[in-house]
Amino acid sequence: MGKNDAVDSNGSLKLTQLTKDKSGRYRPVVTSEDGMNVGALPSVRLCVLDRVQKPSVTMTCTDSDSVSFTCNAGQKDNTVRFEWTSAETQLEETGEILIKRAVDVVNTPVVCRVSNPISFAISDPVIQNCFTPSSQDDCVYAATGSSLTVPLRYELKESDYLKWIKDTRIIFNRRQKQVIMGKNDDVDSTGSLKLTQLTKDKSGRYKPEVYTEGINVGDLQSVRLCVLDRVQKPTVTTKTCTDNGHVNFTCSVGQNENITWLMDGEMLEEKGKTLTRVAKDVLNANFSCNVSNPVSSEISLPVQQNCYKPMQKPHVTVNCTGESEVTFTCSVSQKYNNLEFKWFNEENKLQGSGETLTRKTDDVVNTRFFCNVSNSISSEISDPAAQKCSKPSFPNELFGISIWVFIGGGAGLLILVIVTATVCCVRARRKRRI
């Protein structure tokens, strides 16, 4: 039952293209040649999960001074975990909903992180618009292509005269119900300005003016809008492996973007473009960088250190150096860092270290050597190799048969001849006497 390639050379079970119906407990049963069960062996309970999708955050003004952020994930089960970050600071709150005082997160990007045991994803940042900054020099951020409503902090009457001014230019003008400049749907029922399909040239200060019976009602709160492009998905490179065993991870980012680093999905303290680690301490760890600005965030694909790789089997070449020496060279097909070479003979005795081994030809006429190459995570041994520079004057084999077989056979034949001759001589003498 099953296929040959369903297990490896050790008998371990190989599962590929996992789907949820492959979840369950896997238990090996081994019987000896005489049909006896070798006993209970450890089993494994496999749980196959979907990867989490990138979440989105919706914002609701719950009352006059509170704002509620809801993290919308594609799936909901007991394996999904919610975490919140504000201004790149991890918050204590967990769960789908985060409630904050609006004044505490005036222009602070709020981000939701969703994870399960096999994956994680981070939402785009969201900034509350329930509370307008007290300082009118503070930016209200929005992403290119998005929409934003600039609130009118005044209860408008039908007879009022409403203007919206961008910087110094009037962009909307309505006297009572008649629109003089702009369009009816540029504002909502409260007179708040609706901005759609935002582009960078729509950045600026938006200020309302309201006149009642020809009299200006006074200064109304303006909003300074800053439209930003969404960040691009970053990439992480590991080009640098230093001589002292450190690996440098570099995150490709644009200008004025914030960087956070993650190792196996957990956030690290480092914030710079480059992250340095001791390579042998993070042999199989996955690193990714999260790049964000006030309106968006993207996370790179994970990468691993490439300073140390599993060794491939080395190969030994033999060169005759001069008339009386032979040099064995241990070669590996890939370029590795921090390799260690050791040489052994067939008796497994250490003969030397280094990439090459040199010996007197006459001392190693029939000796075979192999090299062991290792780094911090693995090692491999070559096939044995013997010198071919000098051959013994007395051959080891003849016609593929050990020379000692011929010597033994010849000696036996010689003894047989001698014995036969002796017997014949004795018999001949006896006949003469008769």
Per-residue pLDDT tens for 60-85? 887 667 888 999 987 777 889 999 98
Q: Per mean pLDDT, which range of 111-120, 221-230, 273-282, 304-313 is the poorest?
A: 304-313
Position 61 scores a pLDDT of 80
Position 144 scores a pLDDT of 92
Q: Give the torsion sign (CA, 388, 389, 393, 399).
A: positive
| Rounded Cα gap, residues 289 and 249, in angstroms | 9
Q: Which of 63-67, 206-210, 213-217 has the highest mean pLDDT?
A: 206-210
DSSP conformation letters of 98-111: EEEEGGGGSS--EE
Q: Per mean pLDDT, which range of 171-180, 194-203, 396-405 is the poorest?
A: 396-405
The helix/strand/coil state of 420 is helix
Q: Give the rounded percent of residues in the chain with a pLDDT score beyond 90.
A: 29
Token pair 């981000």 in the structure block, residue = 111
Could you count the other beta carbons within 10 Å of the beta carbon of residue 70? 17
Domains and CATH numbers, the chain: 1-48 (no CATH), 56-228 (2.60.40.10), 236-299 (2.60.40), 309-413 (2.60.40.10)
Q: Is the pLDDT of residue 240 over 70?
A: no
Report how far apart, in Å, the C-alpha atoms of 284 and of each of 237, 279, 281 are.
16, 9, 9
Q: In what helix (H) or strand (E) does residue 162 lie, and over which residues does it extend?
A: strand 161-166
Residue 325 makes CB contacts below 8 A (sequence gap 6+) with 358, 359, 360, 361
Amino acid at residue number 16: T
Q: Per mean pLDDT, which range of 60-69, 139-148, 364-373, 424-433 is the poorest?
A: 424-433
CB 110, CB 85: distance < 8 Å: yes
Position 434 scores a pLDDT of 61
Q: Is the pLDDT of residue 432 over 80?
A: no
Position 128 scores a pLDDT of 77
- Enter the tokens of residue 50: 């979907």
Classify strands 169-175 and 178-181 as parallel, antiparallel or unpaired: antiparallel
171 pLDDT band, cuts 50/70/90, is very high
The helix/strand/coil state of 349 is coil
300 pLDDT band, cuts 50/70/90, is very high
Position 407 scores a pLDDT of 74
262 pLDDT band, cuts 50/70/90, is very high
Residue 57 makes CB contacts below 8 A (sequence gap 6+) with 69, 70, 71, 72, 110, 111, 112, 123, 124, 126
DSSP conformation letters of 29-82: --B-TTS-B------EEE---PPPPPPEEEEEE-SSSEEEEEEE-S--STT-EE
pLDDT one-digit tens code per residue, 138-169: 788 888 998 888 888 888 988 899 999 999 99
CB 119, CB 208: distance < 8 Å: no
| Rounded Cα gap, residues 308 and 334, in angstroms | 11
296 pLDDT band, cuts 50/70/90, is confident
